[in-house]
Structure 1
Amino acid sequence: MTAPLTGAIRLPDGAWVRGRGLRDPLPDGPPPDFGLYLGTARLRRRHEPGLRWESAWLDWPDFRLPRDRDEAVRQVRALHERAAAGAAVEVACGGGVGRTGTVIACLAVLAGVDPSGAVAWAREHHHPRAVETPWQRRWVVREFAR
């Protein structure tokens, strides 16, 4: 099976997700069906007008955790459900590494990766520096190990 979006990675359960940085140009190919975007109001003001597909935003400062962690868990779970149902989905923050990598690690747990290995999985499949801070690493395990 081929990826529904340019640059998408396949999760262990077969679902596909693309992680990217909003500061980078939109990859060639079809647009996503849905995008989950992670950033502050400033990042949202800068990039939301260019999104031509359904999307949701989480207020998530760089190098931090989402301001509303319960909403973030709901949105990450919903993103996984969309991907598992075959939708072309992406997750993105400014640079596409820390916050995006954190969500990809969470998606990996939802797709069957042991929480203790989710950060390593995200670093192998998404970006070598995915999940940049200790609190992001702890959040993946605490929130998605249930």
Structure 2
Amino acid sequence: DFRLPSDRPAFAAVLREALSRAAGERVEFACGGGIGRTGTALACLAVLDGVPAREAVAYVRAGYHPRAVETPWQRRFVRRYGAGTA
């Protein structure tokens, strides 16, 4: 819990595949609590889909769960993901 993806290139590849597949099928993300790591993945996915990185956490909190992306380092990861440095 409360962690970040350890293999960032693999994480990015999974997100790109999920975004591609979501056009024609259901795609799900899940973690133990369904808030922190799931929210982080959803926020990064939102960035890939065009949501500005600085707005992605608020976007996921509004549409998924108000506590999504639980930790400061998860929020920083999303911002850096949007800048291409995650």
Normalised to the residue count of structure 1, the TM-score between the two structures is 0.54
Higher relative contact order (CA 8 A, sep 6+): 2
SS at match of 1:74: helix
Percent identity between the two aligned chains:
61
How far does the alpha carbon of each residue in 1:91-143 deviate from its partner, in whole angstroms, 9 at most, with x for none? 11111100001111111111111110000001000100000111111111212
- Provide the rounded CA distance (Å) in 1 between the counterparts of 2:30 and 2:48: 18
Q: Paired residue for 1:73?
A: 12
Q: Paired residue for 1:131?
A: 69
Q: 1:73: Cα distance to partner?
A: 1.3
- Provide the rounded CA distance (Å) in 2 between the counterparts of 1:76 and 1:65: 14
Q: How many residues align?
A: 84
Which of 71, 87, 90 is matched with 2:28 structurally? Answer: 90
Answer 1 or 2: which has greater strand percent.
Answer: 1
For residues 1-146 of structure 1, what are the structure 2 equivalents within 5 Å? 62-83=1-22, 85-146=23-84
Answer 1 or 2: which has greater helix percent.
Answer: 2
Name stretches of at least 5 consecutive residues in structure 1 with no aligned partner: 1-61
Conserved 8 A contact 2:60-2:68: yes
Normalised to the residue count of structure 2, the TM-score between the two structures is 0.89
Coordinate RMSD, CA, aligned:
1.1
Report the structure number with the largest CA radius of gyration. Answer: 1
SS at match of 1:89: coil
How far does the alpha carbon of each residue in 1:8-53 deviate from its partner, in whole angstroms, 9 at most, with x for none? xxxxxxxxxxxxxxxxxxxxxxxxxxxxxxxxxxxxxxxxxxxxxx
Name stretches of at least 5 consecutive residues in structure 2 with no aligned partner: none
